[in-house]
Amino acid sequence: MTIPSDRLTHRDASLPSTASAITVVRAELMAVRLPLRRSFATSSHRKDHLDHILVRLTDREGVQGWGECASPSHPYYGPETFTSCWNALKDYFAPVLVGESWDHPEELDAVWGRIRGNLFARAALDTACWDIYAQRRNRSLASALGGSAEEVEVGVSLGIEESLGALLDQVEDHVGQGYRRIKLKIAPGWDVAPVATVRERFPDTPLQVDANAAYSSTAEHRRVMRALDTMALQMIEQPFPADDLLAHAELQRELTTPVCLDESVTSAATAHTALGLGAAKIINIKVSRLGGLTEARRVHDLCARSGIPVWCGGMHEFGVGRAANLALAALPGFTLPGDISGSDRYFTADVLSSPITAAGGRVRVPSAPGLGVTVDRDAVRTHLLDQISVAQ
């Protein structure tokens, strides 16, 4: 699907600002731990709680913007960790941002451009800046990004279970809740049999699998991919290591099922390379993995021009990050259900006054100015691990 060019101009970004320049004078970092309702396992590890970093920025006019660093605690998904992000934010990103004046979040590339990598850390500040920017213009974040959808279709991501029976129970529960797509985590030894069992029990349910780069381009693992290719899947997500784009391209030529890239895509440039090689037919766009909304929108626009479907992935975000994902998913190129299930799917209590919920496989996009959600300060204090401020 190719999006008409007039829907990709993001006129708000190109028009001169009608508001005064934005200057962030204070950045607050809050380390917050939320327990999960039930443990979640991927190909690399199992977790029963999440430690994320909430960021609150205050500009010279007193407007506050929120962002979330949803980095995993351990370097299994990617090289960043909670600790590395905390250090990068307090020692590098926040100090260079505080005191700088800017008119549009895209200008921030120049502010922290010397800082290499650390995309999860960068994403938190980028989102908070977009929140302030949208509030200053009295627009929802979705509208400021160029999105217009009032609600988005969502799917759910299910972890590796201890038994096939437990997995089937989870699938049945979420299909019954109306989720539009089920994603199953897979790993060597937990792939063909469980997926075939789910497909047999739920023949009409949109189904996809996610390997989180757990396989290699060996004959044995390619046989697994070919077996999965017979199961009417929507996609096979990130089967091979992130940097092995040629292996993904070779696999895509062998399969009918679309290959989807996640960890491989860290910028619009890497997305362009991957598509040029034919390494994927679908891209998973994650705000955190791409360093924020600015770069995530660039990848969306690239894929839309190229006719490549995209969907919004998640990192088990708290409500702040989940609201940012919803705003991004309101853009026209997001034609596949994303991993933006309701907060109650993962947490007994979120950090928002009104948690994000799903109904019938859909979630409403916040329409109030900025992120459009209210952070529950008492909930943040209850689950706070550490806090630090960087001020002008």
DSSP string, 312-347: E--S---HHHHHHHHHHHTSTTB-S-BS---GGGTB
Topology annotation, domain 144-364: TIM Barrel (3.20.20)
Q: C-alpha 212: how far from its chain's center?
A: 14
In the structure, what pLDDT confidence band is assigned to residue 2 with cuts at 50, 70 and 90?
Answer: low
First CA to last CA distance, the chain: 47
Three-state secondary structure call for residue 218? coil
Pair 123, 52: CB distance under 8 Å: no
Per-residue pLDDT tens digits for 162-184? 899 999 999 999 899 888 899 99
Tell me the pLDDT of the chain averaged across its residues: 91
| 14 Cβ neighbours under 8 A, 6+ residues apart | none
For residue 103, the SS3 value is coil
Nearest to 343 by CA among 352, 330, 333: 352
Supply the pLDDT for residue 111.
92
Q: In Å, what is the CA distance from 372 to each residue of 23, 150, 332?
A: 21, 13, 20
Helix axes 245-254, 268-277, angle to 10 degrees: 40
Q: Which residue has the higher pLDDT, 326 or 361?
A: 326
**Strand pairing of 236-237 and 259-261?**
parallel
Token pair in block for residue 216: 């290699």
**What is the structure's pLDDT at 100?**
94
DSSP 157: E
- pLDDT for residue 44: 54
pLDDT tens, residue by residue, 229-274: 999 999 999 999 999 999 999 999 999 999 999 999 999 999 999 9
Q: Taking the CA of residue 46 as centre, how many other CA atoms within 13 Å lie in the half-sphere pointing to its CB?
A: 7
Q: What is the 3-state secondary structure (H, E, C) of 258-321?
A: CEEECCCCCCHHHHHHHHHHCCCCEEEECCCCCCCHHHHHHHHHHHHHHCCCEEECCCCCCHHH
Is the predicted pLDDT of residue 119 greater than 60, yes or no? Answer: yes
Q: Is the pLDDT of residue 8 over 80?
A: no
C-beta separation of 98 from 284 below 8 A: no
Instruction: From the candidates 47, 90, 183, 185, give the one annotated as an active-site residue.
Output: 185
Strand partners, 207: 182
- Give the H/E segment covering residue 169: helix 164-176
pLDDT of residue 15: 40
Per-residue pLDDT reduced to its tens digit, 270-323? 999 999 999 999 999 999 999 999 999 999 999 999 999 999 999 989 999 999
Rounded Cα distance, 112 and 101, in Å: 13
User: Binning pLDDT at 50, 70 and 90, where does residue 14 land?
Assistant: very low
More confident residue, 343 or 383: 383
Separation of alpha carbons 295 and 126, rounded Å:
10
pLDDT, tens only, 46-96: 767 889 999 999 999 999 999 999 998 888 888 999 999 999 999 999 999
Indicate if 286 belongs to the active site: yes
Q: Taken in order 105, 117, 238, 49, is the CA torsion positive or negative?
A: negative
Q: State pTM to two decimals.
A: 0.91
pLDDT at 16 over 90: no
Pair of tokens at residue 52: 């994320």
Residue 185 annotated in active site: yes
The domain ranges of the chain are 15-138+377-391, 144-364
Averaged pLDDT, 189-216: 95
Q: Are 387 and 36 in contact (CB under 8 A)?
A: no
What is the C-alpha to C-alpha distance for residues 30 and 247, in angstroms, rounded to an integer? 40
Cβ density class 213-222: b for 16+ within 10 Å, e for less: bbbebeeebb
Q: 36 pLDDT exceeds 90?
A: no
Q: For 15-138+377-391, which CATH class?
A: alpha beta
The pLDDT assigned to 18 comes to 45
Q: Are 327 and 348 in contact (CB under 8 A)?
A: no
Q: Using an 8 Å Cβ cutoff, are 326 and 319 in contact?
A: no
DSSP structural state of residue 150: S
Strands 282-285 and 259-261: parallel
